[in-house]
Amino acid sequence: MTIRLGYQIPNFTYAGIPNDQLFDTVVAQAREAEASGFDTVLVMDHFYQLPGLGTPDNPMLEAYTALAGIAASTSTIQVSALVTGNTYRNPPMLAKTVTTLDVVSKGRAILGIGAGWFEREHDDFGYEFGTFTDRFEKLEEALNIIAPMLRGENPTFSGSWYSVRNAMNNPRVRPTIPIMLGGSGEKKTFRLAALFADHMNIICAPADLPRKVAALRERCEEAGRDPSTLATSFLTSVLIGESEAEVKGVLDGLPEAARARAVAGTPEQVAEMLQERVLDQGISGLTINMPVNGHRAGVVGLAGAALKPLVS
């Protein structure tokens, strides 16, 4: 199953919620998403909160530990990182991690992966950041190891950055685990998606979507792949309220830079905007986050009820 309607949780700063109850709030969002028509719950793979969403010292859960807890607390919804930073983990260990998540979830894991970009995290945690070219070379080598391991093969590979010998990956519960790439690079990222991925999550300004869709189609054709076999989705922040007055109050709680990128309105207004700006541009799925008020009971349900009919 691909991602038609995803709910990403990018924020773990909840007013009045102590740390020992923080994950209960995460699980409540995941369960509400599951009950209201979302098919996937996703978390970021970061160690610090991102600029525009908060400050580096804000709470940030480790992605795969959190996803395992979400998987054990839900029954049908898919679980994924959006997206795993390839530079943070040894590739066969990442294959093992996501496969274990698939076992925990009884076949609901997706591997979301990208090249990595947050330099401060690399520097502070002691991971080599390298050049842009380095990180994409690493990602391609990693996918040559991870993709066969997710299919139950035992790859042997020797590259400039990584090497494995007959790398086994057991236990498994499915013939393969879907791979999703995330990003916007028309040459490097889209080429790797065409070669390795089942799904491409595009992150860009809505005005750029027609060009991105065309470029992705070109990369598929260059790889000898039918573009219709590569599912797509678009990530956006949503600010939703039952009335325009409520929406204004939510907007006032978001930093200006993030506010400019968000889709804001009543459920009906948000659905209309996302239909026109995203789905009508050739994208097949939506992934939203709601960093200001998604943790408040009922808000995820409002979004699910409004957006599920668009992608059904």
Using one digit for the tens of pLDDT, what is the confidence trace for 86-137?
999 999 999 999 999 999 999 999 999 999 999 999 999 999 999 999 999 9
Average model confidence (pLDDT) across the chain: 95
List the chain pLDDT tens, one digit each, 312 residues: 689 999 999 999 999 999 999 999 999 999 999 999 999 999 999 999 998 889 999 999 999 999 999 999 999 999 999 999 999 999 999 999 999 999 999 999 999 999 999 999 999 999 999 999 999 999 999 999 999 999 999 999 999 999 999 999 999 999 999 999 999 999 999 999 999 999 999 999 999 999 999 999 999 999 999 999 999 999 999 999 887 787 877 677 666 666 667 899 999 999 999 999 999 999 999 999 999 889 999 999 999 999 999 998
Q: Give residue 140's pLDDT.
A: 98
Cα(6)–Cα(308) distance, rounded to whole angstroms? 10
CB contact at 8 A, 6 and 82: yes
HEC secondary structure over 235-280: EEEEEECCCHHHHHHHHCCCCHHHHHHCEEECHHHHHHHHHHHCHH
Q: Give residue 260's pLDDT.
A: 67
Range of the domain at 163: 5-311
CA torsion, ordered 145, 146, 148, 151, to nearest 10 deg: 160
CATH number of the domain at 274, please: 3.20.20.30
- pLDDT, tens only, 169-198: 999 999 999 999 999 999 999 999 999 999
Q: Give residue 249's pLDDT.
A: 72
Strands 163-164 and 157-158, how do they pair? antiparallel
Cα angle 181-134-166, degrees, rounded to a multiple of 5: 70
Q: Give residue 82's pLDDT.
A: 97
Q: Which residues pair with 188 in a beta bridge?
A: none
Q: Domain count of the chain? A: 1
